Chains A and B, each alone.
Chain A
Amino acid sequence: AQSVTQLDSHVSVSEGTPVLLRCNYSSSYSPSLFWYVQHPNKGLQLLLKYTSAATLVKGINGFEAEFKKSETSFHLTKPSAHMSDAAEYFCVVRRGNTGFQKLVFGTGTRLLVSP
């Protein structure tokens, strides 16, 4: 069964420093992976997705993620954090690559950005 594990429940960075949010996945076949972001009092928004094309995926707001099959990881990074990046981030895997679009969400990582 497909699953994702977000390794940190909270990550704190200073504005202008790099961001690393870690995600490991489990899948018996090549997975479809996503990162969604949820700002306070808002719904979730897609940041980026990996669907077996390029292993380095670029998303919105300067975020990117690299699919590493050997490490079963899909970590989210950003070179320089901005105050507006403070939010909760969810790593997501698609359950089954055919049929209906069912997503399995990780438990979330809350990113705190200090001035």
Chain B
Amino acid sequence: DVKVTQSSRYLVKRTGEKVFLECVQDMDHENMFWYRQDPGLGLRLIYFSYDVKMKEKGDIPEGYSVSREKKERFSLILESASTNQTSMYLCASSVRELTRSSYNSPLHFGNGTRLTVT
């Protein structure tokens, strides 16, 4: 089974702090994603990466950056945390779509990190 592990389940930070959210997957997936989940808004894509050192902006990248130095690890960085970044953050991974059989392959999600910024 694919396992996507997020390093913290709960995190409380102060406004202005630099925050690192870590995600590790153990299935050698090429694609990795960061989403934030808010009630009534569903999941929104922050950033994704399709290879080591590669990254693309999602729908709401403002205030965030990412790092992917190793294939299995994808980090989300809040440069200067603000209260409106209080949310649940979900990491996911999937295989690269190289063949017909891998097209629309599922995303595998971690259990999430609930971040509170005070």
Contacts and interface: CB of A to CB of B under 8 A. Distances in A.
A77 B105 CA distance: 22
Given A51-B103, A94-B104, A108-B42, A41 B48 contact: no
A51 B35 CA distance: 23
Q: Is the interface of A mostly helix, strand, loop or mixed?
A: loop
Contacts of B58: 102
Given A41-B111, A43-B110, A49 B104 contact: yes
Contact of B48 (A9, A45, A49, A100): A100
Interface string A92-115: 001000001111011110000000
Task: Tell me which of A36, A49, A105, A106 has the highest count of chain B C-beta atoms within 10 A of its own C-beta.
Answer: A105
Contacts of A36: 107
Interface string B4-39: 100000000000000000000000000100010000
A90 interface: yes
A44 interface: yes
Interface of A: 9, 32, 34, 36, 41-46, 49, 51, 90, 94, 100-103, 105-108
9 contacts: A41-B111, A43-B90, A43-B111, A44-B107, A49-B106, A100-B50, A101-B31, A101-B107, A102-B45
